[in-house]
Amino acid sequence: MSIIECGNVGYSYDLGVTKVLWDISLNIEKGDIVAVLGHNGSGKSTLIKHFNALLKLQEGRITVADIEINNETNVWELRRRIGVVFQNPDNQFVASAVEDDVAFGPENYQVPRDEIGEKTRQALSRVGMNGYEKRLTHTLSGGQKQRVALAGVLAMDPDILVFDEATSMLDPEGRRELLDYIKELNEESNKTIVMVTHYVEECYIANKVMLMKEGRLLKAGEPRDILGDEELLLSSGLRPPIATQIYLELKKRGIELDCCPLTEEELVESICRLS
Amino acid sequence: MMRQMAGRYIPGDSVLHNIIPSAKLFSFILIIAAVIFTNTVVGYGAMVAFTVCVVLYSNTPIEGLIKSIAGMLPFFAVIFVMNSLFYSSDNPIWKFWFITLSKEGMIQGLNVVFRIAIIIIISGVLTQTTSTMGLMSGIETLIKPLKYIRVPVEEVAMILSVALQFIPTLIEESDKIKKAQIARGARFESEKLSERAMAMLPMIVPLFLSSFKRADELSMAMESRGYRGAKGRTPKARESLDRLSVMSIIACAALCALEVII
C-alpha cells in the first residue's frame, strides 16, 4: 500500500518563470526507507516540503497517508501523521530545555498535561537521550541536538518521518548515530522514512533510492542499481560511495565481486569471499 | 557579553532559590516601590536591614555584590555631584552663575545614590537566585491578567521562550562573524570610538541577515510540528503558591506599607 503518492507534481517559486520541479510522479510504500538523492538545487527539498503542505501544491496531485493534499486539506491533521526533521539543529528548537522542546509538538495537539511528561520521556529514550530532560539544548553536541529534534517529532507519533538533510551539519560519528536510530525506528516501529540527502554514502540504509536532477526524477530503484551506475551518478553531479568505486575499478580490471557493495564492511566481506 | 554579566544565575538551594519565580518577581516589584517611598532615617534603616536579610538568605557571594557596587562608583559620583550642584535651593552654601551648591542638594544626591544601590543589590540577588527560564515563567504568570485588556499573553510568552532559546546561538554567531571580519582586516580594537563604531556595521548586517534566515527556518519547523498559534495548545502547568512564597510577598508588602506610612 502506498503511503505517499505523487502524480505529475510541478512547482515554481516565481509564478512559472523558472520551474524547480517538473512532472514528478512517485510512490512510497508503507515501511519503506526511501533516500531522495540529488545534488544541491536538484529540487529534493522543494519536493518533500509538499508532503506536509509547507508549500502549496501548484501542479499535479499528492496523497499522504490517505489524505489528499489540496486547498481544503486539514494541514494540522496531516502534520500529525508526517514529522519532519530539518537540516540545522539550532533553527528548530523552540525552548531552551530539552523536555520543554520535545513537549512542543504534543502541546500543539492539546495532549493533556499529565500525559505529556510520559510521552516526552518515551520519545527521548527512543533516541537514547533519556536523562537529558533538564539539559539546555545549546549545551548539546550536534548529533545530540538532532536526536532531540527527532524525539520532538516522535513525541507526536507520526507514521512517516522525513529527514531534510538532517545529517549534513553533523560530524561523521553523529551522522552514523542518527542513521542507526533512523534504521532502528523503521525496523522496530515500522515508520516509513523519507530522507533527503546529497551524501551517497547514506543510501546504504535505504531500500529505495530516488535520484533527482534539475527538478526531475531521474531514476528510482534499488540502492545497488543506482549507486552502481557510475555514469548515471556522474551525470547528476554525484559519485558512487568509495566502496562501490573500488568495486567498479576492480571490475574494470577483470576482478568480479559477487555483489555490488555500498559500505566498506560489505566490500571487505565480498573481497574475503573471493578467495 | 552574556558570560561576563554580573548577577548570573548560580544554582543553589537557599530560601530565596526556593521561592517560586512569579512570587519572587512580584516581591521584587514591591521592594522597588518600597525603595521609591523611602524618605526618612527610620525608613532607610529598615531598608538596609531588609536588604542585609535578603542577601543573607540568598547565600549569594558578598564579594560579587561589592564588586558590582564598586563598578558603579563613578556613576554614583556623577549622580551625587550633579544633584548637589544643580539642586535649586533657597539657602545655597555657594553660588556661581547657574551652579548652586546646597545642603539639600547633597542630601538629595545621597538619596538617589542610596536607592540605586539598593535596587542594584536586590536585582543582583534576584538574577543570581532565579534561572532565566524561571524568570520567563514568572513574567508569563505576572502578565496573565493583561489578557483581559486583549494582550495576546500566550503569544508573548511563546516569543519570550523562542527569543531566550536563540540568545546563545546568536552570541556564538556574532563571535564567528567578528572573527571572520577581523581575519579580513576589520579593526575592533581601535582606540578611536568612531572607528570602532564603523567596525560594528559589517558585523551587524550579516547577523541581521542570518537571523532572518533562522527565523524563517524556525517558523517552518514550528508549523511542521503542528503549531497554529499559541491559543490551541495544552495550557501550561500551574505552579502552586506555597507558604514560603506567600510569606515573601507578605514581608515585602509589609515593608512597602511601612515605607509609605513613615
Distance from CA of A257 to the nearest CA of B (A): 45
Cβ atoms of residues B6 and B124 within 8 Å: yes
Residue A217 lies inside a defined structural domain of this protein: yes
Which of A39, A219, A57 minimizes the C-alpha distance to A47?
A: A57
Residue A250 lies inside a defined structural domain of this protein: no
> Which set of grid coordinates corresponds to residue B243?
507558604
Residue A251 lies inside a defined structural domain of this protein: no
What is the pLDDT, as a whole number, of residue B5? Answer: 46
Nearest to A110 among B162, B227, B233 (CB): B233
Nearest chain A residue to B165, by CA: A96
**ipTM of the complex, rounded to two decimals:** 0.87
CATH number, position A51: 3.40.50.300
Regions of chain A short of the pLDDT cut 50: none
What is the pLDDT, as a whole number, of residue A72? Answer: 76
What is the pLDDT, as a whole number, of residue B127? Answer: 86
Give the residue numbers spanning the domain of A12.
Answer: 2-240
Give the residue extent of every domain in chain B: 2-131+240-261, 153-224
What is the pLDDT, as a whole number, of residue A185? Answer: 93
Q: Concatenated DSSP letters for chain B? A: -GGG-TT------SHHHHS-HHHHHHHHHHHHHHHHH--SHHHHHHHHHHHHHHHHHHT--HHHHHHHHHHTHHHHHHHHHHHHHH---SS-SEEETTEEE-HHHHHHHHHHHHHHHHHHHHHHHHHHHS-HHHHHHHHHHHTGGGGGGT--HHHHHHHHHHHHHHHHHHHHHHHHHHHHHHHTT--SS-SSHHHHHHHHHHHHHHHHHHHHHHHHHHHHHHHHTT---STTSPPPPPPP--HHHHHHHHHHHHHHHHHHH-
Burial class (CB in 10 A: 0-12, 13-18, 19+), B150: exposed
According to DSSP, residue A182 is labeled H
What is the pLDDT, as a whole number, of residue B7? Answer: 62
How far apart, in whole angstroms, are the C-alpha atoms of residue A225 and residue A223?
6
Cβ atoms of residues A192 and A160 within 8 Å: yes
**A/B interface, count of CB pairs below 8 Å:** 81
Residue A124 lies inside a defined structural domain of this protein: yes
What is the pLDDT, as a whole number, of residue B233? Answer: 83
Nearest to B217 among A86, A112, A153 (CB): A86
Residue A181 lies inside a defined structural domain of this protein: yes
SS3 at position A248: helix
How far apart, in whole angstroms, are the C-alpha atoms of residue B191 and residue B182?
15
Report field, pTM of the whole predicted structure over 0.90: no
What is the pLDDT, as a whole number, of residue B6? Answer: 55
Residue A258 has, within 13 A of its CA and on its CB side, a CA count of: 9
What is the pLDDT, as a whole number, of residue A151? Answer: 95
Are B161 and A96 a contacting pair at CB < 8 A?
yes
Nearest to A152 among B132, B220, B225 (CB): B225
What is the pLDDT, as a whole number, of residue A258? Answer: 83
Number of domains in chain A: 1
What is the pLDDT, as a whole number, of residue A259? Answer: 83
Q: Dump pLDDT digits (tens) for A134-180.
A: 888 888 999 999 999 999 999 999 999 999 999 988 898 989 999 99
What are the average pLDDT values for consecutive 10-residue runs of chain B, which has 262 residues?
Answer: 54 85 92 89 90 87 82 89 79 73 84 90 87 82 87 86 85 88 80 78 88 92 89 77 88 89 84
Long-range pairs of B24-29 with CB within 8 A, sequence gap ≥ 24? B24/B126, B24/B129, B24/B130, B24/B138, B24/B245, B24/B248, B25/B126, B25/B135, B25/B138, B25/B139, B25/B142, B26/B142, B26/B249, B26/B252, B27/B248, B27/B249, B27/B251, B27/B252, B28/B122, B28/B123, B28/B126, B28/B252
